[in-house]
Amino acid sequence: MNSITAAANAAWGLWRRDAALLWPLFGVTQFLPLLLRLLAMPPLPRLAGEAAGLVDQLRVLSAYGRENLPAILLIVVLQALGRATLFSLYRAPARTLATAFGEALALFPRYLLIVLAVTLGTTFGLLLFLLPGFYLAGRWLLAGPAFVAAPERPSWGALAASWRLTRGHGLLLMALVALAELGRSLIERPFALGRASMAEAPLLDALLALGQATGGAAMLLALALFQVGLYRELSARVTGA
C-alpha cells in the first residue's frame, strides 16, 4: 500500500471513529466562517481578458481585502484555529478536545505565520501560473501538522519539514490538491448558480448558501484528516528508515 492510499484510509478511519467530535469542531470553525463569507461578503471580483495581468489581479485583490478586512480576518482566524485544534487533537493518543484547543490557542500566533506563508506562496504561484501554486500547496501540505507535532522548532522549520517529508511525492500531491480544488468547485457550483438566480428570494438564497457552506466545510474536513494521515505515514517511514 503506498503512502497516499494509507493516508486516505487513515483519514477515513479517523472520521468513522470521531465524527461526533469532528463535526461540531468544523461546524464552528469552518462551516460558520464559510456561511459568513457567502451571506455577508460580496463575491470575489474576477478579471478577464487583457485586464487579467498579475499587477491588475493584485490591485483588485488588495482593494477587495481592504474593503472586507474585518470579516476576512475573522474567517482566517477561525479556520486556522480549527485546523490547528484538529492537528493537536491527533498529536498524541487519547487527547481531549479541550486539551487540543488549549494547545492550539497557545501555538496560534506562530501557527498563523505558517498559514500566511503558505497562503501567500501558493496564491502568487496560482496567479502567475496554476501549476506552481498547486505544486507549492502539495509540498507544504504537511506544514501545519509538522509544526503542531514539534512546536519547539521555529515556524519556518515546519515548512522545511513538510518539503522534506513530501520529497518524491510532489507531483502526486500537486495533482491531489488540484483535484480537491476541482471537487470543491463542483460541489459548490450548483449552489452558487442557484443563488445567482435567486437574488430576489432571500429565504431560498440562504438555504442554498447553507448547502454551499456545508459542502465546502466537508471538503476542508476531509483535507485536514488526510493531512493528519499523510503526516503520520510519511513521518513514520522517515523515522523507520
Fill in the DSSP letter of residue 168: T
What is the distance between the alpha carbons of residues 219 and 131, in angstroms, rounded to a whole number? 21
- The 10s digit of each residue's pLDDT in 39-64 is 888 877 765 544 456 667 777 778 88
Fill in the DSSP letter of residue 198: -
Rounded to 5, what percent of the chain is helix, strand, coil? 85, 0, 15
pLDDT (0 to 100) of residue 1: 53
Q: How many CB atoms lie within 10 A of CB 29?
A: 24
Residue 21 in grid coordinates: 467530535
Q: Which of 227, 237, 238, 239 is nearest to 10 (CA)?
A: 227
- The 10s digit of each residue's pLDDT in 94-114 is 788 999 999 999 999 999 999
Q: H or E stretch including 221?
A: helix 202-240
Task: Please give the average per-residue pLDDT across 21-47, as a whole number.
Answer: 88
Task: Please give the average per-residue pLDDT across 179-192, as a whole number.
Answer: 88
**pTM of the entire predicted model:** 0.88
Which letter, b or e, does each residue of 35-71 get, where b requires 16 or more Cβ atoms within 10 Å of its Cβ? Answer: bbbbeeeeeeeeeeeeeeeeeebeebeeebeeebeee
Cβ-contact 76, 115 below 8 angstroms? yes
For the chain, the average pLDDT equals 88
pLDDT (0 to 100) of residue 53: 63
Concatenated DSSP letters of 25-89: HHIIIIIHHHHHHHHHSPPPP---GGG--HHHHHHHHHHHHHHTHHHHHHHHHHHHHHHHHHHHH
Task: Please give the average per-residue pLDDT across 35-39, as a whole number.
Answer: 91
- Across 103-107, 181-185, 203-207, 233-237, the highest mean pLDDT is recorded for 103-107
Q: Provide the pLDDT confidence category of residue 224 given band limits of 50, 70 and 90.
A: very high
